[in-house]
Structure 1
Amino acid sequence: MIERGNAIPSVGIKLVTASGTTETTSLEAFGTGVVVLFSVPGAFTPTCHVNHLPGFLANAGKLKAAGVDKIVCASVNDQHVMKAWAEASEALDSIDFLADGNAELAEALGLARDFAPYGMGTRYARAALILRDGVVSDIFVEDGPGVNASGAPAILMALEAANA
């Protein structure tokens, strides 16, 4: 699994933003500035849709005030599903969405998990990373169900501690 001090791997991704969908690499998309990248098992899934994404959306202004240049939500869904989720959540003005349909970045980060028993195949672990110029400064991976360590309040606390 990726650790503090590791550079983000360069893997092909589709990035869904307010401007549209672009094919790029994770390094190009997250290699400069301060980026909060949070990963969810699936778009529209109950915890992801009701707890994880809304927390980042509600705290987007605070995260930006704490020095975050970009907030990105990653999932192993295709770009069409990610765009529909972003639009349904009214999040496109605040959060970019990473479509990692083949779980290539999830695998490269060591955050891929087997959700086959739930009929979902390979998915991301619920996690959040703080990247500074493409290098992981902090990583938070949930060790159980729910949103605690990887939620927006925990990320804000980490950013405030780093900026103190």
Structure 2
Amino acid sequence: MSMIQAGDRMPRVTLHMLTDDGIKPVPTDELFAGKTVVLFAVPGAFTPTCSARHLPGFVEHIDAFAAKGVDAVACVAVNDPFVMAAWGASAGADGKVLMISDGNGALAEATGTQMDASKAAMATRSQRYAMIVRDGTVEQFFLDPAGQFEASSAENVLAHL
């Protein structure tokens, strides 16, 4: 599987979110259809860079994304829906950033962004990236090299909208 790139359609997979009514399936077809969505992926909820810088940047700049025509900002990680919801609540993301679980790594695999994080006791996870998706097509893709955080930052994505 080659890595997703600008111009590609988003793969069809089912992700999940915890709602007041329990775990809700989130098909990517529905998530991206007819909308402009900024999707960013992190290696893990509650991990240092993800918690200190990545998610907070998108929460902080949510109004700027809306002002540039973004319909939704979504965070995805290979964590279960309960962990994603708890992380979002602790980060003040509720009502701002969609906290989406790729619990089985289906999106990471389908986009070619999976990575082996077993040395950190985290099994297979997603690489750190962000993308701008318009009506299901990747318009721009920002991948951070392992151990780095810059390309996928909220500020960098905003600069490209």
TM-score, length-scaled by structure 1 = 0.92
Letter in 2 for 1:66: K
- 2:122 pairs with 107, 120, 133, which one? 120
Query: Does the Cα contact within 8 Å between 2:127 and 2:146 map onto a contact in 1?
Result: no
Contact 2:84–2:99 under 8 Å retained in 1: yes
One-letter amino acid of the structure 2 residue matched with residue 99 of structure 1: S
SS state at 1:47 partner: helix
Which of 8, 28, 31 is the equivalent residue of 1:29?
Answer: 31
CA-atom RMSD, angstroms?
1.5
- Aligned partner of 2:15 in structure 1 is 13
Sequence identity percentage: 41
Matched position secondary structure for 2:76:
strand
Contact conserved, 2:84 with 2:101, CA < 8 A, in 1? Answer: yes
Q: Which residue of 2 aligns with 1:162?
A: none
Report what 1:70 is aligned to. 72
Output the CA distance in 2 between the equivalents of 1:74 and 1:89: 14
**2:87 is matched with which residue: 82, 85, 88?**
85
Question: After TM superposition, what 4+ stretches of structure 1 lie above 2 angstroms from structure 2?
Answer: 15-21
Alignment of 1:98-109 (within 5 A): 98-109=100-111
Unaligned regions of 5+ residues in structure 2, if any?
Answer: none
Q: State the alpha-carbon separation in 1 of the partners of residues 94 and 19 from structure 2.
A: 6
Opposite residue 57 of structure 1, the aligned amino acid is: V
Matching residue of 2:135: 133
Q: Give the partner amino acid of 1:4.
A: A
Number of equivalent positions: 159
Q: TM-score, normalization: structure 2? A: 0.94
Ranges in structure 1 where 5+ consecutive residues have no aligned partner:
160-164
> Within 1, Cα distance between the matches of 2:149 and 2:83?
22
The reply to whether residue 44 of structure 1 matches residue 46 of structure 2 is yes
Residue aligning to 1:152: 154
Question: 1:104 Cα shift?
Answer: 0.6
1:94 maps to 2:96: yes
Q: Relative to structure 1, is the Cα distance of residues 35 and 18 closer, same or farther in structure 2, using a 3 angstrom cutoff?
A: farther
